[in-house]
Amino acid sequence: MANALRSFQTNEVVQEHLPNSLGIGPAFHPTVAKMIKLFKVKEKQRELAENSNGKPPVKKQSAGELRLHKDISELNLPKTCSISFPNGKDDLMNFEVSIRPDDGYYLGGTFTFTFQISSIYPHEAPKVKCKTKVYHPNIDLDGNVCLNILREDWKPVLNINTIIYGLYHLFTEPNHEDPLNREAAAVLRDNPKMFESNVRRAMAGGYVGQTFFTRCI
């Protein structure tokens, strides 16, 4: 995977932030506080059910759910990123992350990613796809994402926070060296001004070549 993303492999990932040059800070997004409260409410409901006479206890959380609970409680995202749980409190293992880059080619766009967390997380990396069709060298038209920490460089010490910062990094520094969309990568490498024009056209809603992109700006 892209050499530019190797910085996300360290063992100190929980507290790391991207460099200041990316224009993001350590401030918590308001959604995170809501998610922490949601987890606490669910845990309290579980305890009450287990302690109620004559009522069967709810299903115990898997190791993956417990670890995800920890990850969410420790989220430290920039204001350009947000997390939501479209299926509600009963399905916390499937959620969405929206990224709104405030720098670079993709400035002003909104890009949504789906996360699927397995019961054996963190021993298996989350499955992440981009719901928003995007003209990008490292994201193909089916939403598959080329990010090293989601594949060969995944380690259990990594977490959701790390992945979200990695996804943000793809938009501030797209990489043509290890592409999923080879056509976009070639344009980025050979003609950056044309690449920028193609990105703006795609985000505004329109065709780039034979491919139509829905407006996301």
pLDDT tens per residue across span 54-78: 555 566 788 999 999 999 999 999 8
* Active site residue ranges: 146
Give the per-residue pLDDT at 61: 83
- Give the residue carrying structure tokens 């100190």: 12
pLDDT in tens, 84-100: 999 998 899 999 999 99
Report how far residue 182's alpha carbon sits from residue 136's, in angstroms, rounded to the nearest whole number.
9
Model's pTM, two decimal places?
Answer: 0.76
d(CA 100, CA 110): 5
Q: Does residue 127 or residue 5 have the better pLDDT? A: 127
pLDDT higher than 50, residue 23 = no
Over the chain, what is the mean pLDDT?
84
Rama region for 195: left / alpha / beta (φ>0; ψ in -120 to 50; rest) = alpha
Q: Is residue 212 pLDDT above 70, yes or no? A: yes
Q: Give residues with Cβ within 8 angstroms of 98, minimum separation 6.
A: 81, 82, 83, 84, 110, 111, 112, 113
Query: pLDDT band at 42, cuts 50/70/90?
Result: low
Euclidean distance between CA atoms 51 and 74, whole angstroms = 28
pLDDT value, residue 93: 96
Fold assignment, 3-180: Ubiquitin Conjugating Enzyme (3.10.110)
Instruction: Write the CB contacts of 83 (distance below 8 Å, at least 6 apart in sequence).
Output: 29, 31, 32, 35, 72, 75, 77, 95, 96, 97, 98, 164
Q: Is the pLDDT of residue 12 over 60?
A: no
* C-alpha 102 chain-centroid distance: 16
Query: What's the rounded Cα separation, in Å, for the pair 184 and 202?
Result: 12
Does the structure show a pLDDT above 50 at 137? yes
Tell me what pLDDT residue 33 has: 62
